Amino acid sequence: MQWDDARIFLAFAREGSFSAAAKRLDVQHSTISRRVHALEEQIGTPLIERSPNGFVLTAAGEDLMNSALKVEKELLSFEAASGGQSQDASGELKVTAINNMASTLLMPLFARFNQVYPNIELRIEVTNDSVRLAQRDADVALRQTNTPGETLIGTRLATVASAVYGSTDYCAAVESGKGKVNWIGVDCCDFHRNWTRQACPDGAHAFYVDETSLTLAAIKEGLGVGYLPCFLGDAEPGLTRFREPEPQHNLGLWFLYHRDLRNTKRVTLFREHMKQEIQTISHLFAGKPNPGA
């Protein structure tokens, strides 16, 4: 059996479908299906079977998944160890970050790192979902959380504050009694969803969005008020704070990576770069005036 066949099967076992496994490995759906069925023919026993809820692993499939996980763990440990021995500032570095942050405040920081270390191939991916660092979905995750995973090594870079924003005209109309408060229904993350539910417990929303950039656009159009991180809301001249930030809504901005990568040169360089750079703009994340102004 070739490791590449086991790797493809492991992706299917984790994701539960051919299409999701194909997306994970960045290959065609038909490639996953063909390789899994070819593997079944090679070993002479079914590895998956169809159920009312989709595909499930057979007993042989479960055994192969467990064996593949062990092999993957050893290979990843070797990769991390060999990478840590190198003192060269080179190689691929996969970084995952939240879209609204990566495309605004963090992009200049990424650009400066790329200029200083051009031999490090920096790959930026954006997702609001939890990332599986142990499986090398990414090398580094920049995440907003107050409870980083216990299996990860983390450095808290800044405090991210959020406030309730509305367009300047909308807030003026509400304040003068000429308009009523409408809350935009948000489903971009658990934080904003729960805070909105607490602020508007009856759940009466005439407009819903599922991404922070859409919340921002809806607020600018005067559709209501909603939660935004201060680094986004304060940067928009047409918005104003409808409610000031509250301490219970503060989140930590964490630099997270797997402990196997703690001695890897490119991870260490990137961590120190981000620590220094973010320190100079920490007031923007915290929603406070520039202390040096």
Mean pLDDT confidence for 181-209 = 89
Residue pLDDT, tens place only, 68-116: 888 877 776 676 566 555 556 788 898 999 888 999 999 999 999 999 9
Where do the structural domains in the chain lie, given as residue ranges? 3-84, 86-160+250-286, 162-249
Mean pLDDT confidence for 1-9 = 86
- Average pLDDT over the chain reads 87
Domains 86-160+250-286 and 162-249 share a fold: yes
Q: Does the pTM of the predicted model rise above 0.85?
A: no
Q: What architecture does CATH give domain 3-84?
A: Orthogonal Bundle (1.10)
- Which stretch of 11-15, 16-20, 131-135 has the lowest confidence by average pLDDT? 131-135
* 162-249 topology per CATH: D-Maltodextrin-Binding Protein; domain 2 (3.40.190)
| DSSP line for the chain | --HHHHHHHHHHHHHSSHHHHHHHHTS-HHHHHHHHHHHHHHHTS--EEEETTEEEE-HHHHHHHHHHHHHHHHHHHHHHHHHHH--SS-EEEEEEE-HHHHTTTHHHHHHHHHHH-TTEEEEEEE-SS---GGGTS-SEEEEEESS--TTEEEEEEEEE-EEEEEEHHHHHHHHTTSS---BPEE-S-HHHHHHHHHHSTT---S-EESSHHHHHHHHHTTS-BEEEEHHHHTT-TTEEEEE---GGG-EEEEEEEEGGGTT-HHHHHHHHHHHHHHHHTHHHHHT---TT-
pLDDT score at 274: 96
pLDDT band (50, 70, 90) for residue 251: very high
User: Which CATH number is 86-160+250-286's, of 3.10.129.10, 3.40.50.2000, 3.40.190.10, 3.40.50.720?
Assistant: 3.40.190.10
